[in-house]
Amino acid sequence: MKQEASFPEGAAMTHRWTTIHGKAPAPAIEEEKTGPMTGRIRVLQIEDSKRDAELIVCLLEKDGYTVDSLRVQNAQGVRDALARMPWDVVICDHIMPQFDAPTALGILRESGLDIPFIVVSGAIGEDIAVQMMKSGAHDYLTKNNLARLGAAVTRELRDADTRRERRKAEEALRETVDRLQSALDEKTVLLKEVHHRVKNNLAVVSSLLALKADATGDRKARLALAESQQRVQSIALVHEHLYGTDSLGRINFAEYARELVQGVRSAFAVGDRFIGLDFELEPIELSIELAVPCALILNELLSNAFKYAFADGQTGQIRISFRQPEPGRCELAVEDDGVGLPPGRLGAQNKSLGLRIVRILTNQLNGSIEQKERPGTRIVLRFPIAP
């Protein structure tokens, strides 16, 4: 049996519920679930003809739906209805005496609600129908051919459910990404702090070694302490570069090498000697696992060059190159035009601490080190890197 119940007044008129089979639902959000899976749907009809509105309800009932329907016929009625409760579908006449479907569709779009919007009309041209679809309408039907109304409503309800599920999934994904980004930001801050503290702690160790070197009167002990201090500083510089990068796990070794060379030069170049520097450095990034041993090797080779290559105040040139001759392999070379290193000094029989460190770290890199025969000294380190 058909019943009618009062709906809250709009700006200029009272709208009526037209409800089929039972009591009109109260205008509140907390209502039983409706939709294509339940067989019960809420239909907002924007229609000036009560007879046409009743016909639409009857056709939907014939297709198996239990319909709660409200008929409105002006802009304020549409706004009030959309604000009062959720709707499963909007069925709108194309042209009414005081209102039309394009305006109603605009109100729906302004509300931000995703509700299927189906246009019905006594006569609608193809151009008008296409324009309505482009504007956001989901389907259009003529009033003299409403046989597919039930199928159209079912399809649009299912499509609306699909869109809602997709939005839920996208929102869940965004929340997950936001949580991961937040966790990543926290870990980034933590890693920066770790590198900063490691650098500071190594600076303390370096200062202690410097104090000890100043306090000792033995020249050899003082030199050994100075060399140890420079090794600590070379590692501290790696962490300083890591702290200053966004990746926190890789450094541009070319930039690092330039800074390290200047530090070693200041530590070991004495008097008025001029020792020129020549760089050929490709901007290759190394992970911390490769950067630290490579840095220590470079420190040892540079220290030997500054200390021993230019005796008796001799001037000269030191050349440092770092390149990737082929994918997956790096080459670090230190060359000077000084007195030259005797052949075979890189062999295992050499008991020099610095060269022993070089051999140990080369093995750690799974690399090889080679002394080139030429005037002066050229030592080349080759090691693999991840492509």
Predicted confidence (pLDDT) at residue 99 exceeds the cutoff of 70 = yes
> Dihedrals φ, ψ of 341, to 5°?
-90, 130
pTM over 0.75: no
Comparing CA positions, the residue from 119, 65, 82, 75 lying closest to residue 98 is 75
Strands 40-46 and 89-93: parallel
Tell me the pLDDT band of 121, cut-offs 50, 70 and 90: confident
Per-residue model confidence (pLDDT) at position 329: 93
Full set of structural domains in the chain with CATH: 2-147 (3.40.50.2300), 249-387 (3.30.565.10)
Cα Rg, the chain, nearest whole Å: 41
Per-residue model confidence (pLDDT) at position 18: 46
* Of the candidate ranges 194-203, 272-281, 338-347, the one whose mean pLDDT is the lowest: 338-347
Instruction: Choose between 344 and 19: higher pLDDT.
Output: 344
Torsion, CA 89, CA 163, CA 31, CA 68, rounded to 10: 20
**Mean pLDDT for the stretch of residues 311-340:** 88
* Of the candidate ranges 121-130, 216-225, 324-333, the one whose mean pLDDT is the lowest: 121-130
What's the one-letter identity of residue 165? E
Instruction: Choose between 131 and 150: higher pLDDT.
Output: 150
Contacts of residue 243, defined as CB under 8 A and 6 or more positions apart, other chains included, come to 192, 195, 196, 199
Comparing CA positions, the residue from 257, 222, 211, 218 lying closest to residue 237 is 257
Provide the 10 A C-beta neighbour count for residue 21: 12
Per-residue model confidence (pLDDT) at position 124: 65
pLDDT in tens, 266-291: 877 655 567 888 999 999 999 888 98
pLDDT in tens, 227-264: 888 888 888 888 887 777 767 678 899 999 998 888 88
Per-residue model confidence (pLDDT) at position 1: 35
pLDDT in tens, 177-197: 888 888 777 776 776 777 678
Angle at CA of residue 136, ends 133 and 142, nearest 5°: 40
Ordered DSSP codes for 360-386: HHHHHTT-EEEEEPSSSEEEEEEEE--
